[in-house]
Amino acid sequence: MSLQTDFLVLGSGISGLYFALKASELGDVIIATKDRPEESATWYAQGGIAVALGEFDNPQKHMEDTLRAGAGLCDPEAVRILVTEGIDAVKELADLGVPFTRDEKGRLHLGREGGHGESRVVHAHDSTGSAIEKVLLEQVRQKPNITIWEKHMGVDLITEHHLKPRQVSRTCFGSYVLNEETGEIVPVLARFTVLATGGAGRLYPVTTNPPVSTGDGVAMAYRAGCRVRNLEFFQFHPTALYAKSDPAFLITEALRGFGARLLLPNGESFMHLYSELMELAPRDIVARAIDSELKKHGYEYVLLDVSHKNAEEIRSHFPHIYTTLKEKYGLDITREPIPVVPAAHYMCGGILVNYDSRTDLNFLYAVGETASTGVHGGNRLASNSLLEGLVFSARAVRDIARRIKNREAESKNPYLTRISPWDKGGTANLAEWVLVQHDLKEIRNIMWDYVGIMRSNLRLQRAERRMDLIYREVVDFYNRTTVTREILELRNLSLVARLLIRSAMERKESRGLHYNTDYAEVRDESRNDTILEPLEFKNPYQGPQT
């Protein structure tokens, strides 16, 4: 048994929902999300959306700041698309009803964050992501031709490899989708498939990402034959609350834009030692500065102090942070500093796509954090991520509209009856959850210790040896075990970890977020992308699962 739809969207963050909303004008849409629809990285985004709407701002300035933050590795054309087309996208969100914060004259209030030369961050106080997610979900649920499947997870993309007889994978026909509650896996055939599965922050033990961020889209695409790009650039947010919470509670960069200062626990400032921009330096610089000071002095955290600012203004501008820290952690930020540490936050690389979000597989698109559009380069500029999700999702829909007009997708129709059903023969419910938990813990510890903010050739070599062994064990376990969400996430994380390590080993320099102590740091212009070909997956679906 299989299901058919015009559009299959995997993921329910800003990229997936915005795509679905626009694509619903072209056909029926199924959104498959492995948790509640709200459970996405978008929901946790505090800061806002960077867009050149200020009186003295313009897209050229926004572009220059983005290129500068990207450590010379951004694709200038992709950035130009981002900063120009993003203006209308943000205006559309406002028209849809997103309650962006406004000043006393009714104009959008524009915040300032690290790396930005102007105040240009449109926000809904300090809960921008959840405000956007709520409105987009409301809009999506009003569309009768959009169906949301909760507790459903993509297993593998369907390609020519699943035809009878099997062929080399060049086309995406949809995805095998797991119903987490019943355990049933159904082929969902789609004219167009969209990966909007977010990042892979769960590779690390300390992360601001929710539990759903397990690199699923990157792993699925790579196994199906897509190239991935620049995975070595993983952004660590400089300021997450130092506390036992999962995910780590993010302290928005806007707080530093508001005037908060970074201090050592003894009260000394230190950012002047690392950048003339001090607290407003790009994230890669601030995160490395904090990491360096922690290791130099043996501290467990540094302090972020905003208590010198007006208390009422703090409560007004940052109600979510103020209330959460006060009620949950007993910390009054109007009177005392916040203990903070860096945390894994954003995957700047991803599935290689063109300017219209097309991947290497025909009829497969990737949007949002799971895609590598070229706009982030070696380091993402603060508040450019939500903007990227909007801009390149809209471009994907426009590209698809052109292809529908040309009737391109009809070329797949003769093959749909030849798609193999899911075969779970040879598997059993081993219930060895101790193995899953142990492997997850080991993956995260390896990544944190060897592939974190500071790297070296020796650390990466050790990480590669250990991760290759774990990956082989995980694949063997997967091939013998009844499929569950936990096993799929472990399989995906172990693969993405290997790809990230391999990417880091191939870059023989320190640039942006990738800092290798064996190579000097460079910031000259470079289009030297790290692109990994899926050579080991020429026959990617071996084993009893298919």
- Active-site residues, by number, are 283
Please state the separation of Cα 73 from the chain's center in Å: 18
- DSSP code at position 108: B
User: By the 8 A CB rule, do 121 and 49 touch?
Assistant: yes
Q: Would strands 531-532 and 121-122 be described as parallel, antiparallel, or unpaired?
A: unpaired
Cβ atoms 208, 399 nearer than 8 A: no
Asked if residues 365 and 390 have their Cβ atoms less than 8 Å apart, the reply is: no
| 377: nearest Cα among 284, 288, 440, 461 | 284
Please provide the DSSP assignment of 152-209 as one string.
Answer: EEEEEEE-GGGSSS-----B--EEEEEETTT--EEEEEEEEEEE-----GGGSSSBSS
User: Amino acid letter at 309?
Assistant: K
Phi/psi for 11 (5° steps) reads 120, 145
How many whole angstroms separate alpha carbon 369 and alpha carbon 358?
14
Cα 141 to Cα 11, 24, 145, 180, 389, distances in angstroms: 15, 11, 9, 22, 20
Q: Which H or E element spans position 303?
A: strand 302-305
Give the number of other Cβ atoms within 10 Å of residue 105's Cβ.
5
CA pair distance 515, 233, nearest whole angstrom: 9
**Closest C-alpha among 250, 484, 496, 256 to residue 369:** 496
Q: Which two tokens stand for residue 53?
A: 């709407």
DSSP code at position 272: G
Dist CA 90 CA 119 (whole Å): 16
Q: For tokens 């009260």, what's the residue? A: 267
As given in the structure block, the two tokens for residue 343 are 């945390």
Q: Which two tokens stand for residue 392?
A: 């390149």
